[in-house]
Amino acid sequence: MMGGGEPYTALEESLLSGEAAARRQWEKTYLDVLGVCCSAEVALVERLLAPLDGVRAVSVVVPSRTVVVEHDPAAVSQSRIVKVLNGAGLEASVRAYGSSGVIGRWPSPYIVACGALLLASSFRWLLPPLQWLALGAACAGAPPMLLRGLAAASRLTLDINILMLIAVAGAVALKDYAEAGVIVFLFTTAEWLETLACTKASAGMSSLMSMIPPKAVLAETGEVVNVRDIGVGAVIAVRAGEMVPVDGVVVDGQSEVDERSLTGESYPVPKQPQSEVWAGTLNLDGYIAVRTMALAENSTVAKMESLVEEAQQSKSKTQRLIDSCARYYTPAVVVLGAGVALLPPLLGARDAERWFRLALVLLVSACPCALVLSTPVATFCALLTAARMGVLVKGGDVLESLGEIRAVAFDKTGTITRGEFSVDMFDVVGHKVQMSYLLYWISSIESKSSHPMAAALVEYAQSKSIEPKPECVAQFRILPGEGIYGEIDGKRIYVGNKRVLARGSSCQTVPERMNGLKGVSIGYVICDGDLVGVFSFSDDCRTGAAEAIRELASMGISSVLLTGDSAEAAVHAQQQLGGALEELHSELFPEDKVRLVGALKARAGPTMMVGDGMNDAPALATADVGVSMGISGSAAAMETSHATLMSSDILRVPEAVRLGRRARRTIAVNMVSSIAAKAAVLALAVAWRPVLWAAVLADVGTCLLVVLNSMLLLGEGRGRRGKEEACRATARSLEMRRSQLAAVSPDAAAKSVGKTGGDASKGCHCCHKPSKSPEHSVAIDVRAGEQRESPTAATCAPAKKVEVTGSVNGSAAPASSSGASVGCCPRETDSTEACKKMAPADLVL
């Protein structure tokens, strides 16, 4: 019986322990650990903390001297974690919420005491016994090095502390006490300066963490509650000058909100009922009541913080290569140093002291700290700079790829254009169905879609006093590149472009009225196989789209348009962008975009894809760098992309490429300087005299220079386009205000337009720059039926004709050079008026 009960007891204990683990509450603790200077200490930290009960994960961000511990506070406290790290001399402390680390920290007493004693020993020529103060200086500054070195040795880890201790011991053995003191002082001082520089660089990460206020006010009761206790659907009050605590929708009040913390654009965004607001943004000048849409831990800024943290912890290809080389470099140099110290005397060589000094120089040079730091610190600073300007880059590999981009493929709807559609025309065909029934069916089906065109149709129906009922829709399906399908009131309804017309209707005839429309998106409604309705949309181009493409061209990067709309829509886009695009590809399914992105990679080199919709997700994943349009984009696009624009400013694309190139140059300079410094010291030691303190200075000094050089990336992009960006911001704000006035009072909006000249861009006059007509090739790849045509080139110049194959406005256009003149390169285009309206000739839902 006893033997049968023991397995049962063991099973019961394992089940109880499993239940206890499931009940644990995990939290993250951020610690400033000054003793982490290179990747060698990463293994030490992990070996110290991983065995602790209640610790689930440990991650180390070397450039910012930060250790992130995920643990159960009930099992292991923050003070326990700090005590374990400080027992190894790593100088750990818990970072307070929203603090920026140890900026402004004074030197430690060890450094002060070491420096004072070393200074006093410099007067040994007056009083010889003062030379012993140099030995005292070495002993006074050595304790942190000694603790870290012993902790590393106990876990069979070879790091810079052990190598420096060997160098100090060697100098003492040679009775060169002054050199021993100089080694300790230089090493500890350089470490302190390096820590200050790294902490300064990481201040941006800390500001991300402090965006969300810890408390919020409930609008109904006025009660102040913890932001983490607010559920979805609660209504909170946000007064002027306060930060929005949780993502939500405005239900009462009007104000302007500064969204710079998320988007990098420092202009006020008007908010009114039904406007979305985001956690971490600043309410400027009014009271608003906000109904929450997400929990605090699921807010946009929380996701942004998580992405930046994961990106900083990831390693780029260059960093992985350096780390793998360093793993073999250090032991190899240590073995070489031992050989240099032992073999010459054994072989009867003279001047054994010189060989011993040379061996010590080799040992000091065995630590590749500067080389190991050359990549992660630069990557760290570049990622923070990207996040500050509203671009979330998912890791160092993506950052390096950004610097290699040679071609960019743009989606159109929601990327080049705003994706804010309005219904220009809606007609019933053949009077087979009443308008009210048709709008009810369409709005109910479109309510189940997230596409911006669907939202425009729903709003149009509501403006006609038709309320959609999505719960009445059955068999709802999205037809990628075509439209949508749904069943309601026993009717089978297709809504979409002309591909849907071919799929769902036996009638392929397009009403004559639709043939004359240009610059609009055309959609069709099929009910039980009959064409019963047609409608058209218009959409505006994003401000700065043409300028962004021109900036890419100035960097030697070609730009391509990939759209599911018609050939006419592609040509119309080219006209609105002043002929800036080099290639146009139209009438594409998602698989066509993947095929063309692959072809572009093979032909032009590393390729970026910029898109926002679910249809773009496969192409975003295929590209070397996929960039999604952040808040306005689909969840699928954000998930599959490698980088995310948190704003709608497409000018961030060339800025991100420029930042990637600058980061690659910085990494190259860091690597070359690190290797050159060690090579110079070794050459000096071999050719002239081994100087131990010079080797230490070269090692720690190069580390400091690498950090300072990388910090120059933190200023990248500041002031580059200050005046023009302010002008565009003013134009956007004026345009938003006019759209609000138009919704309330058309007369007031008309007066506003009259005062400013009728164009948002004319609210100021500092950005008007004439641009010359570009003259380069344009290729149009359009889908005709089920066939794929290879891109055909045609010269794009004023009054030139472009060869177009496929269907345009529903009528067949022959593939001949005698097609209609499209004038795709106007003679003169104002930079602020180059994008007024562009829209495809067909609808892609």
Phi-psi region of 348 (alpha: psi -120 to 50; beta: other; left: phi over 0): left
| Residue 424 CB coordination number (10 Å) | 16
The answer to whether the CB of 314 falls within 8 A of the CB of 396 is: yes
What is the distance between the alpha carbons of residues 760 and 737, in angstroms, rounded to a whole number? Answer: 10
pLDDT band at 112 (very low <50, low <70, confident <90, very high): very high
The answer to whether the CB of 170 falls within 8 A of the CB of 160 is: no
What is the distance between the alpha carbons of residues 483 and 485, in angstroms, rounded to a whole number? Answer: 7
The answer to whether the CB of 586 falls within 8 A of the CB of 780 is: yes
Q: Which CATH class is domain 382-416+542-659?
A: alpha beta
β-sheet bridge partners, residue 217 = 224, 237
Residue 408, token pair as written in the block: 């960019």
Q: Which helix (DSSP H) or strand (DSSP E) does residue 704 occupy?
A: helix 692-711
What is the distance between the alpha carbons of residues 778 and 792, in angstroms, rounded to a whole number? Answer: 8
The answer to whether the CB of 379 falls within 8 A of the CB of 396 is: yes
pLDDT band at 188 (very low <50, low <70, confident <90, very high): confident
Dump pLDDT digits (tens) for 599-636.
999 999 999 999 876 678 889 889 999 998 866 555 66
> Which amino acid type is present at position 510?
V
What is the distance between the alpha carbons of residues 408 and 410, in angstroms, rounded to a whole number? Answer: 6
Dump pLDDT digits (tens) for 472-509.
999 899 888 788 999 998 899 999 887 887 776 655 55
Per-residue model confidence (pLDDT) at position 406: 95
DSSP 8-class letter at 228: G
Crossing angle of helices 692-711 and 369-388, in 10° steps, is 10
Per-residue model confidence (pLDDT) at position 827: 32
Per-residue model confidence (pLDDT) at position 510: 59
Dump pLDDT digits (tens) for 131-154.
899 999 999 999 988 888 888 788
The pair phi, psi for residue 643, each rounded to 5°, is -150, 155
Q: For residues 104-111, give the mean pLDDT.
A: 79
What is the distance between the alpha carbons of residues 224 and 231, in angstroms, rounded to a whole number? Answer: 14
Give the length of the chain. Answer: 845
Q: Is 252 a catalytic residue?
A: no
Each residue of 62-82: b (16+ CB within 10 Å) or e? bbbbbbbbebbeebbebeebb
215-298 and 418-540: identical CATH topology? no
Strand-strand pairing, 391-393 and 643-645: antiparallel
pLDDT band at 550 (very low <50, low <70, confident <90, very high): very high
pLDDT band at 809 (very low <50, low <70, confident <90, very high): very low
Dump pLDDT digits (tens) for 49-85.
988 988 988 888 877 778 889 899 888 999 999 999 8
Top-ranked range on mean pLDDT: pick from 576-580, 620-624, 832-836: 620-624
Fold classified for 418-540: Calcium-transporting ATPase, cytoplasmic domain N (3.40.1110)
Per-residue model confidence (pLDDT) at position 506: 59
- Placement of tokens 């009761």 in the chain: 221
- The pLDDT of residue 841 is above 50: no
The answer to whether the CB of 92 falls within 8 A of the CB of 86 is: yes
Q: For residues 714-733, give the mean pLDDT.
A: 54
Per-residue model confidence (pLDDT) at position 325: 80
Q: What percent of the chain shows pLDDT beyond 70?
A: 74
pLDDT band at 282 (very low <50, low <70, confident <90, very high): confident
Residue 262, token pair as written in the block: 């998320």
Residue 732, token pair as written in the block: 């956007």
Per-residue model confidence (pLDDT) at position 266: 65
Our CA dihedral for 758, 760, 762, 767, rounded to 10 degrees, sits at -160
Dump pLDDT digits (tens) for 653-703.
999 999 999 999 999 999 999 888 888 888 888 887 778 888 888 888 888
**Long-range contacts of range 17-22, CB-CB < 8 Å, 24 or more positions apart?**
none
What is the distance between the alpha carbons of residues 648 and 87, in angstroms, rounded to a whole number? Answer: 50
The answer to whether the CB of 377 falls within 8 A of the CB of 293 is: no
Residue 734, token pair as written in the block: 């004026």
Determine whether domain 24-94 maps to CATH 3.30.70.100.
yes
Nearest to 48 by CA among 177, 143, 183, 147: 147
The answer to whether the CB of 411 falls within 8 A of the CB of 450 is: no
> Which amino acid type is present at position 482?
E
What is the distance between the alpha carbons of residues 186 and 698, in angstroms, rounded to a whole number? Answer: 10
- The pLDDT of residue 783 is above 60: no
Fold classified for 215-298: 2.70.150
Q: What percent of the chain shows pLDDT beyond 90?
A: 17
Domain coordinates in residue numbering, the chain? 24-94, 109-189, 215-298, 321-369+661-714, 382-416+542-659, 418-540
pLDDT band at 374 (very low <50, low <70, confident <90, very high): confident
Phi-psi region of 481 (alpha: psi -120 to 50; beta: other; left: phi over 0): left
Top-ranked range on mean pLDDT: pick from 277-291, 320-334, 527-541, 765-779: 277-291
* Residue 765 or 326, more confident: 326
- The pLDDT of residue 444 is above 60: yes
Q: How far apart are the first and last CA of the chain?
A: 71
Per-residue model confidence (pLDDT) at position 206: 57
How far apart, in Å, are the Cα atoms of 140 and each of 108, 136, 522, 804? 11, 6, 80, 81
Which class for 9: exposed (0-12), middle (13-18), buried (19 or more C-beta within 10 A)? exposed
How far apart, in Å, are the Cα atoms of 214 and each of 8, 98, 246, 296, 581? 48, 10, 10, 10, 47
What is the distance between the alpha carbons of residues 629 and 620, in angstroms, rounded to a whole number? Answer: 11
Q: For residues 505-524, give the mean pLDDT.
A: 63
- The pLDDT of residue 526 is above 60: yes
What is the distance between the alpha carbons of residues 501 and 810, in angstroms, rounded to a whole number? Answer: 11
- Of the ranges 1-10, 505-514, 694-703, 776-785, which one carries the lowest mean pLDDT score? 776-785
What is the distance between the alpha carbons of residues 430 and 436, in angstroms, rounded to a whole number? Answer: 15
> Which amino acid type is present at position 73?
P
Per-residue model confidence (pLDDT) at position 417: 79
> Which amino acid type is present at position 542?
R
Per-residue model confidence (pLDDT) at position 518: 56
- Placement of tokens 């425009």 in the chain: 456
The answer to whether the CB of 449 falls within 8 A of the CB of 477 is: no
The answer to whether the CB of 592 falls within 8 A of the CB of 601 is: no
Residue 111, token pair as written in the block: 């450094």
- The pLDDT of residue 554 is above 50: yes
Average pLDDT, the chain: 76
Q: Is 520 helix (H, G, I), strand (E, B) or coil?
A: coil
* Residue 422 or 103, more confident: 422
Q: Which helix (DSSP H) or strand (DSSP E) does residue 217 occupy?
A: strand 215-218
Q: For residues 369-397, give the mean pLDDT.
A: 85
pLDDT band at 735 (very low <50, low <70, confident <90, very high): low
Per-residue model confidence (pLDDT) at position 655: 93
Residue of 247, 397, 411, 539 marked active site:
411
